Amino acid sequence: MKELEKVYDPSIVEERLYEQWMEKKYFHTKIDKSKKPYCIVMPPPNITGQLHMGHALDNTIQDILIRWKRMSGYNALWIPGIDHASISTELKVVQKMAEEGVTKSDVGREGFLKRAWEWKEEYGGIILKQLRKMGSSCDWDRVRFTMDEGLSDAVLEVFMRLHEKGLIYRGEKIVNWCPQCQTTISDAEVNHIDKAGHFYHITYPIKDSEEGLLLATTRPETILGDTAIAVHPEDERYQHLIGKTCILPLVGRELPIVGDTYVDREFGTGVVKITPAHDPNDFEVGLRHDLPRINVMNDDGTMNEKAGEYQGLDRMEARKRIVEKLKEEGYLVKIEDITHAVGVHERCNVVVEPLIKLQWFVKMEELARPAIEAYKKEDLRFIPDRFGKVYLHWLENIRDWCISRQLWWGHRIPAYYCEKCGHVEISKTAPSSCSKCGCDKLHQDEDTLDTWFSSALWPFSTLGWPENTEDLQHFYPTSVLVTAYDIIFFWVVRMVFSGLEQMGEIPFKDVFIHGLIRDEQGRKFSKSLGNGIDPLDVISKYGADALRLMLITGNAPGNDMNFIGNVWMLAEILPINYGMLLVLY
């Protein structure tokens, strides 16, 4: 036995031991059928990421579980990996290009992708190196990347299969559009924040009558796209008007007055304008009453040719002018100051515009059903159980998933359009000619897939799917997914239905939800608050053991925990641990 050093220096010891473990290949897992498999697939950090306290906690928990199971005689495998993070990475690359004074259109798609890959090569591995510093015992021989060859193939395979089953379709839908980023964004990427705004109370005259209908809107620029007026069918005040016609102020278009139970009688005057091209609820009303959709806005948030004299104006400027005109012509009754929740894009904080777009969608109803069943049958377990309700809530209220994004970095949609007959070919590789008309001029869809499309496949794609690999047979379904509660919908739900659909089996038995790490005042760590603690700083000062102990002490499933309160322990813990040992000599 060697003599122990008198003073424990974590930075020296930790580096030496990690190297020793790597050399001895302790982290590498060979399939051993005599042992029970235990597998965790690491939630892949974004390639744009730097290790933060959230990752540190997430990975500490996984490492504890995997080390424990390895010691307990399981065939324990922890697969690491990273995510291409479509929109975040694209924004970073665009930013970097802006510093050089170049834009995406200057360099073109190919040029841009070359830069994005270079960026990935340079920065993409940083976070994995940081995870090693934490002592993470993952199988580094099995690192996966959502855009590596195998995983890209898995993405195409799933797209083909879902399309064949009629579960992927292309359609006009109202989507959340970010006029700044020029892309569709998912519901979950919209932050609803309270903003000061106005209710503009406007009278719509009834045709051949002296009467008018009073209603209120917060977005008067959209009246140019109104195609109906709606009231509740059982509202005695307005029942007699259903079937009659209103005249749209400023435009003069005739609008049918329809009865729809979507209207809330108690809210405002009980009369609403219906603008199917600019509001998701109105879009649904429009479908029920077969109303035309008039889109009055361009993708950049300016008004288009349908807006007449307002064409070319920014939506906010158009709003101002339209209000002035309504006032001049006597339609404006009053302006009421209000505070209301406005949807903004979480990345750029620009107000999201609901717009109609031709997009690719995944039909959700059929896919959601088995995912709901799996939970109800207890094939899938949430720890703590209360998060099962969140999961169910999302699934039971699920809408079709818009999977196309107007971005370049990611998996390009495998749809090819015939330039002659317009036929759409779905194919893993570019078809040489149109299967319908034989024309050889086809072009691929410009859009890429939502970044969660590939992460939804993560638990089986990382094990080698669509190949029926030994890893897949031995380790699927995985044992537990460890994650924070903020991505239950984004990710957990989608992995479950994807696993059930493609593998016929849930991707993991347990979902262990841990809380978020907060500062001593209970605030989330964030760069803008300046309250972040860099886990790497803690490691270099006190060692990874101390960081891990701090993160896990007091940690209870699902609960947030405040970080600073634990710091005092650092000073005490290591010397005592070590000193205790010296007693033996």
Partner 1 sequence: MNLEEEEENKLLMLTSADKWILSKVNTLAKEMTENMEHYELGLAVQKVHDFLWDEYCDWYIEMVKPRLYDKEDSTRGAALWTLKNVLITALKLLHPYMPFITEEIFQHLQSSEESIMISQWPTFKEEWNNKENEQEIDMLKEAIRSIRNIRAEMNVVPSRKAQVFVVSQHEDVRGVFEKSKTFFKTLAYASDVMIQEDKTGIGEDAVSIVIHNAVIYIPFADLVDLEKEMERLTKEREKMLKEIERVEKKLSNQGFVAKAPVSVIEEEKAKGEKYKAILAQVEERIAQLKK
Cβ neighbours for 530, distance < 8 A, ≥ 6 positions apart: none
Closest by CA to 23, choosing from 114, 140, 122, is 140
CB of 512 to partner 1, least distance (A): 5
The Cα 451–Cα 86 span in angstroms is 5
Strand (E) or helix (H) holding 213: strand 212-217
Closer Cβ to partner 1, 76 or 228, answer by number: 76
CB of 68 to partner 1, least distance (A): 5
Q: Are 241 and 188 in contact (CB under 8 A)?
A: no
Q: Are 554 and 22 in contact (CB under 8 A)?
A: no
CB of 567 to partner 1, least distance (A): 16
Closer Cβ to partner 1, 29 or 176, answer by number: 29
Closer Cβ to partner 1, 73 or 292, answer by number: 73
Strand (E) or helix (H) holding 58: helix 53-71
CB of 510 to partner 1, least distance (A): 8
The Cα 157–Cα 258 span in angstroms is 45
CB of 534 to partner 1, least distance (A): 19
Closer Cβ to partner 1, 352 or 538, answer by number: 538
Q: Which residues lie across from 303 on neighbouring strands?
A: 297
Q: Are 318 and 307 in contact (CB under 8 A)?
A: yes
Phi, psi (rounded to 5 degrees) for 440: -100, 10
CB of 565 to partner 1, least distance (A): 13
Q: Are 244 and 301 in contact (CB under 8 A)?
A: no
Closer Cβ to partner 1, 47 or 66, answer by number: 66
Closer Cβ to partner 1, 25 or 334, answer by number: 25
Closer Cβ to partner 1, 24 or 129, answer by number: 24
Q: How far apart are the first and last CA of the chain?
A: 11
The Cα 89–Cα 28 span in angstroms is 30
CB of 78 to partner 1, least distance (A): 12
Which residues of this chain interact with partner 1, rule CB under 8 A?
1-4, 8, 10, 13-14, 17-18, 20-21, 24, 26, 61, 63-65, 67-68, 70-73, 135, 137, 383, 510, 512, 543-545, 548-549, 552-557, 574, 576-578, 580-581, 583-584
Place of tokens 């997914």: 481
Closer Cβ to partner 1, 27 or 238, answer by number: 27
Phi, psi (rounded to 5 degrees) for 389: -65, -40
Q: Which residues of 327-365 are buried (b: 16+ CB within 10 A; e: fewer)?
A: eeeebbbeeeeeeeebbbbebeeebbbbbbbebbbbebe
Q: Are 461 and 454 in contact (CB under 8 A)?
A: yes
Place of tokens 């405002």: 268
Q: Are 183 and 87 in contact (CB under 8 A)?
A: yes
Closer Cβ to partner 1, 32 or 373, answer by number: 32
CB of 281 to partner 1, least distance (A): 41
Count of CA atoms in the C-beta half-sphere (13 A) of 90: 20
CB of 580 to partner 1, least distance (A): 5
